[in-house]
Chain A
């Protein structure tokens, strides 16, 4: 028996179209020098954000982004019924520690860099089903903590390869709630597509875009097959952090899978957050990348009416230092949510 709110194999329909009623983001100094720098709610002057460790800085960025979002929605912590969040670190500790200080019921999410759209997808279900409203969805990352966990010490003198990406220091959050005539929403969720884990045998941890692009292509193809939509029905089809290499691969691979994508409608958060002059090689990455760009760039465009409908699909490369060292390949996953303007 088919689930009643299901469309095809992987797509779900939100019957009650959960609203995004508030959003906020906080980011580091390097991100602030990028093209979106003046749109962030909070900028840390230094990468350590005045904390004792970079891990604590990551916690503080998340916590402050949550606080600002709740202030914007004129809500206290007690008014939020669930928080769904994740990050890149072992045991998603930054999110758990941020939740510790917020006293909101917390569900940890892990989808590597796909966490923001995973959180929106599941948070949207909680709201849509009438189980919680409002729900806070969060994602964050920090360059220094990701480098230490996945790569080298910061002061170690190595050269990055041209395909490598730069983990975004930042956190983005969005508040979902049931439609309410008293509130002016930013946007609404109408559909979502849960991604499959796709592995095309990539082992190069310095080329995450290549590891994630097939998963992005698979989710897009599934969504278009399930719904009959076409890319032209979206103002933008937005990927999380494929970067330059992954974006090019997605265009080619989707074409091969029978769903050509129009280049002018594609956008990648990893290519949006930094200026090419900032030496971030193939672009930005990390949970915070898509979350910060969603909050500072995508949602404002939907609110203003400049864009009416976007497919927001954050992409994650699923690896741990242990599995990588053991020679395991790097599968990818991508979850998509359809976000529409309300006006």
Chain B
């Protein structure tokens, strides 16, 4: 018993040492970069919606879909030419949170697992990153939908 408690103490002591020595991510810099790049992406998205409504005569939901399609397309293209991960490395959550993050999470495994073939590689591994977002995002939307249907 004494032996195991001293082992626990040693582990606790080591964990404190790790916390002291391991450098921390720079939170303020990271937040600022995520804010301005993410903000810029959202401004661009809003511009697309306004353009869709004014020039393409789309209604609000059509214009939103139009903006999503353009952002997804651009992200997929930038991922394909190997630029998007460089931007994301700088911006962090600024590119992850908008729909650009979702597009990148789909295209990057599709490219990565291409050598294992279209079926067992790209096909099977396509959702390795985006899968959890889809599963729990859709599940949550179903629950919220049911609540709003019955409670209203």
Chain A residues packing against B (C-beta within 8 Å): 52-53, 55, 148, 152-163, 200-202, 207, 210, 214, 244-245, 248-249, 252-253, 256, 282
Task: Please judge, given known A-B contacts A153-B109, A156-B109, A201-B11, whether A162 and B22 are in contact too, CB under 8 Å.
Answer: yes
Q: Which residues of B contact A53 (CB under 8 A)?
A: 115
Determine which of A152, A157, A160 lies in contact with B101 in the assembled complex, contact meaning CB atoms within 8 Å. A157
Interface residue B137 (Cβ < 8 Å from any Cβ of A): no
Interface residue B50 (Cβ < 8 Å from any Cβ of A): no
| Docked-complex contact A159 and B92, CB < 8 angstroms | yes
Interface residue B131 (Cβ < 8 Å from any Cβ of A): no
Determine which of A156, A161, A214, A282 lies in contact with B14 in the assembled complex, contact meaning CB atoms within 8 Å. A214
B147 to chain A, nearest CB (A): 32
Interface residue B55 (Cβ < 8 Å from any Cβ of A): no
Which stretch in B38-46, B58-66, B80-88, B138-146 binds the other chain?
B80-88
Determine which of B23, B24, B96, B111 lies in contact with A153 in the assembled complex, contact meaning CB atoms within 8 Å. B111
Would you list 10 pairs from A and B whose C-beta atoms are within 8 A, ordered by A residue? A52-B115, A155-B79, A155-B80, A156-B104, A156-B109, A158-B85, A160-B89, A201-B14, A253-B17, A256-B13
Task: Across the interface, name the chain A residue whose C-beta is closest to B96.
Answer: A157
Q: Which residues of B contact A282 (CB under 8 A)?
A: 23
Task: Across the interface, name the chain B residue whose C-beta is closest to A282.
Answer: B23
Interface residue B108 (Cβ < 8 Å from any Cβ of A): yes
Interface residue B25 (Cβ < 8 Å from any Cβ of A): yes
| Docked-complex contact B11 and A210, CB < 8 angstroms | no
Interface residue B107 (Cβ < 8 Å from any Cβ of A): yes
Interface residue B18 (Cβ < 8 Å from any Cβ of A): yes
| Docked-complex contact A157 and B23, CB < 8 angstroms | no
A256 to B23, CA, bound (A): 21
A52, A53, A155, A252, most chain B CB atoms within 10 A: A155
Q: Which residues of A contact B92 (CB under 8 A)?
A: 159
Q: Which residues of A contact B80 (CB under 8 A)?
A: 155
Task: Please judge, given known A-B contacts A155-B82, A214-B14, A253-B14, whether A245 and B108 are in contact too, CB under 8 Å.
Answer: no
| Docked-complex contact A163 and B22, CB < 8 angstroms | yes
Interface majority SS (helix, strand, loop, mixed), chain B? helix
B48 to chain A, nearest CB (A): 21
B132 to chain A, nearest CB (A): 12
| Docked-complex contact A200 and B21, CB < 8 angstroms | no
Q: By the criterion of a CB under 8 Å from any partner CB, how many residues of chain B are at the interface? A: 35
Chain B residues packing against A (C-beta within 8 Å): 10-11, 13-15, 17-18, 21-25, 30, 79-80, 82, 84-85, 87-89, 92, 95-96, 101, 104-105, 107-109, 111-113, 115, 129
Task: Across the interface, name the chain B residue whose C-beta is closest to A159.
Answer: B92
Determine which of A55, A148, A201, A244 lies in contact with B15 in the assembled complex, contact meaning CB atoms within 8 Å. A201
Task: Please judge, given known A-B contacts A163-B23, A200-B10, whether A155 and B84 are in contact too, CB under 8 Å.
Answer: yes
A191 to B13, CA, bound (A): 32
| Docked-complex contact B14 and A157, CB < 8 angstroms | no
Q: Which residues of A contact B21 (CB under 8 A)?
A: 245, 248-249, 252
A210 to B23, CA, bound (A): 12
Q: Which residues of B contact A214 (CB under 8 A)?
A: 14
A133 to B85, CA, bound (A): 48
A52 to B116, CA, bound (A): 11
Task: Please judge, given known A-B contacts A52-B115, A159-B88, A253-B17, whether A153 and B11 are in contact too, CB under 8 Å.
Answer: no
A52, A156, A200, A248, most chain B CB atoms within 10 A: A156
| Docked-complex contact B14 and A200, CB < 8 angstroms | yes
Q: Which residues of B contact A157 (CB under 8 A)?
A: 79, 84-85, 87-89, 95-96, 101, 104, 108
| Docked-complex contact B11 and A148, CB < 8 angstroms | no
A244 to chain B, nearest CB (A): 8
A321 to chain B, nearest CB (A): 11
Task: Please judge, given known A-B contacts A148-B112, A162-B23, A162-B25, whether A154 and B85 are in contact too, CB under 8 Å.
Answer: yes
Determine which of A55, A161, A210 lies in contact with B18 in the assembled complex, contact meaning CB atoms within 8 Å. A210
| Docked-complex contact A156 and B18, CB < 8 angstroms | no
B109 to chain A, nearest CB (A): 5
| Docked-complex contact B14 and A245, CB < 8 angstroms | no
Q: Which residues of A contact B23 (CB under 8 A)?
A: 162-163, 244-245, 282
